[in-house]
Structure 1
Amino acid sequence: MSTTLTPASSARQGRNRHRGVLGRASWIATLGGFLFGYDTGVINGALPFMTEDLGLTPFTEGLITSSLLFGAAFGALAAGQLADRFGRRRLLMALAAVFLAGALGTAAAPTVGLMVVARVVLGLAVGGASAVVPMFLSEIAPADRRGQMVTRDQLMIVTGQLAAFTVNAGIGNAWGGETHVWRWMLAVASVPAIALWIGMKFVPESPRWLAAQGRYPQMMAVLQKIRSTEDAQTEYDGVRALGAGEDTRRGSFKDFAEPWLFRVLLIGMGMSVVQQITGVNAIVYYGTQILADAGFGTEAALTANIANGVVSVAAAILGIWLLGRVGRRPMLITGLIGTSTTLLLIGVASITMPEGTARGFVVLSLTVLFLAFQQGSISPVTWLMIAEIFPLRVRGLGMGLSVFVQWMANFAVGFSFPMLMAGLGISTTFFIFVALGLCAIVFVKHFMPETRGRSLEQVEAQLRAAGTK
């Protein structure tokens, strides 16, 4: 018995098919975000066992932790230009191979020196993914869903961190007395790296990258896979109209000599610094030590730290929902007020409460609240904004430069935090982050544009007009 599709049901099936292709492409690409989260979060629980095994000092702890961040800065910088040259899809496949090599290298490293080298290699992949994944998502997403789609990467980052915290707690509590237990924590990252490489073989290239190469027929073919016929034609016409007066050469550093583009670059870099000076990665990398110093033992701190991961995931889901309903600027300012307030309270609690379980639970509660503000507003808005504001010709380079600055700020926090804690104590260290958070609020109020509800081409026109006044 045959059935005849009505025009309405046929159109609905077409929409579902397009959304299915788009959804699969976005979730596969965000495995890069998952690896970013796992590889940055796993050091949190591995470090206490690594310290005993390799005989680490506060300096070498900071060096091992921050070596990944140093590599990530240069990985992001190189990835921006490589993504413009070779395409987003092919670069993500290459990064999957680097993720695999870095994960196995850190798991097998016999000395501090080799561990640092392996962490730098792993950092190249982390930094590359941090720049390319949100760029790719912003370019395949329709304008009305771009905020929610790009921030899927943030959701996967915090999901990767939760997975790292959970794996650390499981392995640490089950085999914590065995030698080299931290190696198994690090080796687990090889599994999603393989999955990313395989999955990207089935993902289409970014239509806007194809347009930047002048490959308009291929661009249209991709759009027809991820949009309805009408939407594909409308988007195609808009991109062609914007590019009619421009050449198809790749962007270079010289492009930022244009005053409006230089201003956009400064906004992107400033947003990247704003995300880091909240102090979030002090908690992500050293949360186990912070909780242990507050009153928990190492094993208990490993388990308690899972709460940070759970709240981060829940907050990221909330952030994705909010981005479809709330402006970028008010959402970011609210998050900065929340993180600065919670860090202030952590510092006060550390001064006024005696060391013990009670103080441990207070600090845990405040770090959970801090991460709710950070992962529910600051991080998703930051990654979304730097993926939105650069015009197509320099998007890879501009985002690479912005993320380079972000990772260098991250490196500064990761490297200095153990020494700040040892020299100044937790209270004074967190008070420094509070002061930096207040500076971030001032920057956002004065320089950050509002981009909600605009296509990438409309955002470009808005920023061009603002920068040429």
Structure 2
Amino acid sequence: MATDTTKLKYVYFISSIAAMGGLLFGYDTAVIAGAIGFLETKFQLTPAMTGWAASSAIWGCVVGAMMAGYLSDKFGRKKTLILTAIMFAISSIGAAIPTNLSQFVAARLIGGLGIGAASMLSPMYISEMSPADKRGMLVTLYQLAIVLGINLIYFINLLIAGSGTEQWNIDMGWRYMLGSGTIPAVLFLIALVLVPESPRWLASKGKDDEAIKILEKLNSKDQAASLMTEIKSSLTEEKGTIRELFAPGLRTALIIGMFLALFSQITGINAIIYYAPEIFKSVGFGTDSAMLQTVIIGITNTVFTFVAIKFIDQAGRRKLLLWGVSGMLVCLVGVGTVFHFQLSNGPLLLIFILGFIASFACSLGPIPWVIISEIFPTKTRGVAMSFATLTLWIGVVLITQLTPILLSKAGGAITFWIFAANSVMLVLFTYKMIPETKGKTLEEIEKLWIKH
């Protein structure tokens, strides 16, 4: 596809803008960690109310993921992404100025709607705009943006919390933390003005002239014409109904998408990201030391996401996934063993957890976003990705609710061995069910399911 350097730079440019949806995802996920303690004191929240305040955005994400497919198929990828940026900006402002818990929860729910929708739309848009030989790397920018968003808000929260007294943080600090999200949201909104609509969506709406113009911005004229022929051919064969997703062939693609989305969450990543300080303290680390280990986890996550960017289009999705999840499995067994034998060995636990994070970051972190964004036909891609992304957010809800219960009732060993067992299932599923898609156009990937 795009071999001309100028055209390829343009693809990188618009993909980086779309990936900012991931930065908002990471930002929103982590901002509450710094604010919730002060918010709890400010509004004198009960444990149940604190849990609702912390998780309200996630429930918004579930609904946002459900809505995004319909909206993006009807109104376009670009317009719906613009809507997500507006919703996140409104949420950030609203969450910074509430006078009671109900107002705070309402604001966070609005933000969740935007984040849930963007978590489906950003990878899909990047996938539809990318050349086949660069698509894996470009969609992985979305996962990198999530990681950078998490690290950015950790740093901002630390700066804000250190700017005043404990009482100032209770009164005002948490408001600045949550309100700071307005800045990346507005930047995302402005940047989206510069990106074109997806040519595949335009073609699906009969806007062929607009579609070919955009394809020619991304590719040579000959490549654009060839792609347009492929796109029109695939659209002629597609009906674009939900029922079609459950027909033989596409049903396999849907199962793969939903399974990957769910298992990206129930193999332990959020349990470690959310509860890392408590996990380290349980084996003897002090509070400050435990927080330092959390920073090291963030750095490791970032570094190995770059590894994925480097190799995903060379090694391929399937091979990286098999090796990465196998590495996660070994490390999860190791973490469980440290807890089972009550080893007061903090460095050993840190090694296993960093090994898990590294394995996740170069496999199960980015690859589900890549595969989910490329395996569905154009006419059903929006709705199908909504199903898959909805499954992902259901997994987030399950892990958020169940991990503290498992850690307290079953203990660390059983908890992490359950995650290890889930990893075994994912390795077997990947080996049996997931085809290699590197280097194929979206229309070529679509033909894989016609053979089933």
Asked if Structure 1 and Structure 2 have the same fold, meaning a TM-score greater than 0.5 normalized by the shorter chain, the answer is yes
Q: Which moved more, 1:114-123 or 1:322-331?
A: 114-123
* Alignment pair present for 1:386 and 2:372: yes
Task: Name the residue aligned to 1:127.
Answer: 116
Task: Name the residue aligned to 1:349.
Answer: 338
Q: Relative to structure 1, is the Cα distance of residues 29 and 73 closer, same or farther in structure 2, using a 3 angstrom cutoff?
A: same
Q: Percent identity?
A: 33
Task: Name the residue aligned to 2:422.
Answer: 436
Contact 1:87/1:205, CA 8 A, preserved across alignment: yes
* Alignment pair present for 1:191 and 2:180: no
Q: Among residues 70, 78, 91, which one is paired with 2:67 in the alignment?
A: 78
Task: Name the residue aligned to 1:272.
Answer: 261
Q: What is the CA–CA distance in structure 2 between the aligned matches of 1:142 and 1:318, rounded to whole Å?
A: 20
Q: Relative to structure 1, is the Cα distance of residues 105 and 340 closer, same or farther in structure 2, using a 3 angstrom cutoff?
A: farther
* Alignment pair present for 1:319 and 2:308: yes
Q: Which moved more, 1:77-86 or 1:97-106?
A: 97-106
Q: Among residues 367, 374, 384, which one is paired with 1:398 in the alignment?
A: 384
User: 1:166, CA displacement in angstroms?
Assistant: 2.2
Q: Which moved more, 1:366-375 or 1:219-228?
A: 366-375
What amino acid is the match of 1:343?
A: L
Task: Name the residue aligned to 1:163.
Answer: 152
Q: Relative to structure 1, is the Cα distance of residues 460 and 350 closer, same or farther in structure 2, using a 3 angstrom cutoff?
A: same
What amino acid is the match of 2:158?
A: A
Task: Name the residue aligned to 1:369.
Answer: 355
Q: Kindly provide the CA deviation profile for residues 205-238 of structure 1, in whole angstroms up to 9, marking residues without a partner as x.
A: 1111111111111001111112222322221222
TM-score (norm 2): 0.92
Secondary structure at 1:144's aligned position in 2?
coil
* Alignment pair present for 1:237 and 2:221: no
User: 1:455, CA displacement in angstroms?
Assistant: 0.7
Q: What is the CA–CA distance in structure 2 between the aligned matches of 1:348 and 1:112, rounded to whole Å?
A: 41
Contact 1:40/1:285, CA 8 A, preserved across alignment: no
Q: Which moved more, 1:75-84 or 1:252-261?
A: 252-261
Task: Name the residue aligned to 1:461.
Answer: 447
Secondary structure at 1:30's aligned position in 2?
helix
Q: Which moved more, 1:69-78 or 1:193-202?
A: 69-78
Task: Name the residue aligned to 2:244.
Answer: 255
User: 1:185, CA displacement in angstroms?
Assistant: 2.4
* Alignment pair present for 1:421 and 2:410: no
Q: What is the CA–CA distance in structure 2 between the aligned matches of 1:323 and 1:339, rounded to whole Å?
A: 18
Q: Among residues 8, 13, 22, which one is paired with 1:24 in the alignment?
A: 13
Q: What is the CA–CA distance in structure 1 between the aligned matches of 2:404 and 2:49, rounded to whole Å?
A: 10
Q: What is the CA–CA distance in structure 2 between the aligned matches of 1:277 and 1:201, rounded to whole Å?
A: 36
Q: What is the CA–CA distance in structure 2 between the aligned matches of 1:125 and 1:299, rounded to whole Å?
A: 34
What amino acid is the match of 2:382?
A: G
What amino acid is the match of 1:96?
A: A
Secondary structure at 2:315's aligned position in 1?
coil
Q: What is the CA–CA distance in structure 2 between the aligned matches of 1:273 and 1:305, rounded to whole Å?
A: 24
Contact 1:278/1:336, CA 8 A, preserved across alignment: no
Q: Kindly provide the CA deviation profile for residues 99-148 of structure 1, in whole angstroms up to 9, marking residues without a partner as x.
A: 11122233334444443333222211111111000000000001111111
Task: Name the residue aligned to 1:3.
Answer: none
Task: Name the residue aligned to 1:7.
Answer: none
Gaps of 5+ in 1: 1-11
Q: What is the CA–CA distance in structure 2 between the aligned matches of 1:366 and 1:50, rounded to whole Å?
A: 34
Secondary structure at 2:362's aligned position in 1?
helix
Q: What is the CA–CA distance in structure 2 between the aligned matches of 1:227 and 1:376, rounded to whole Å?
A: 29
Q: Which moved more, 1:383-392 or 1:295-304?
A: 295-304
* Alignment pair present for 1:226 and 2:212: no
Secondary structure at 1:326's aligned position in 2?
coil
* Alignment pair present for 1:412 and 2:398: yes
Q: What is the CA–CA distance in structure 2 between the aligned matches of 1:434 and 1:245, rounded to whole Å?
A: 42
User: 1:61, CA displacement in angstroms?
Assistant: 4.7
Q: Relative to structure 1, is the Cα distance of residues 34 and 302 closer, same or farther in structure 2, using a 3 angstrom cutoff?
A: same
Secondary structure at 1:151's aligned position in 2?
helix
Q: Which moved more, 1:127-136 or 1:409-418?
A: 409-418
Q: What is the CA–CA distance in structure 2 between the aligned matches of 1:283 and 1:196, rounded to whole Å?
A: 29
* Alignment pair present for 1:35 and 2:35: no
Q: What is the CA–CA distance in structure 1 between the aligned matches of 2:439 and 2:75, rounded to whole Å?
A: 30
How many corresponding residue pairs? 448
Q: Among residues 81, 86, 111, which one is paired with 1:97 in the alignment?
A: 86
Secondary structure at 2:232's aligned position in 1?
helix
Q: What CA RMSD, in Å, does the superposition of the two structures yield over aligned residues?
A: 2.3
Q: What is the CA–CA distance in structure 1 between the aligned matches of 2:292 and 2:160, rounded to whole Å?
A: 11
Contact 2:320/2:362, CA 8 A, preserved across alignment: no
Alignment of 1:180-219 (within 5 A): 180=170, 181-219=173-211
Q: Relative to structure 1, is the Cα distance of residues 63 and 448 closer, same or farther in structure 2, using a 3 angstrom cutoff?
A: farther
Secondary structure at 1:143's aligned position in 2?
coil
Q: Which moved more, 1:191-200 or 1:265-274?
A: 265-274
User: 1:50, CA displacement in angstroms?
Assistant: 4.2
Q: What is the CA–CA distance in structure 1 between the aligned matches of 2:105 and 2:348, rounded to whole Å?
A: 34
Q: Relative to structure 1, is the Cα distance of residues 351 and 90 closer, same or farther in structure 2, using a 3 angstrom cutoff?
A: same
Q: Relative to structure 1, is the Cα distance of residues 191 and 293 closer, same or farther in structure 2, using a 3 angstrom cutoff?
A: farther
Gaps of 5+ in 2: none
Q: Which moved more, 1:135-144 or 1:38-47?
A: 38-47
Contact 1:62/1:418, CA 8 A, preserved across alignment: no
Q: Kindly provide the CA deviation profile for residues 169-192 of structure 1, in whole angstroms up to 9, marking residues without a partner as x.
A: 333455473433333322221111
What amino acid is the match of 1:389?
A: I
Q: Which moved more, 1:33-42 or 1:197-206?
A: 33-42
Q: Which moved more, 1:216-225 or 1:332-341?
A: 332-341
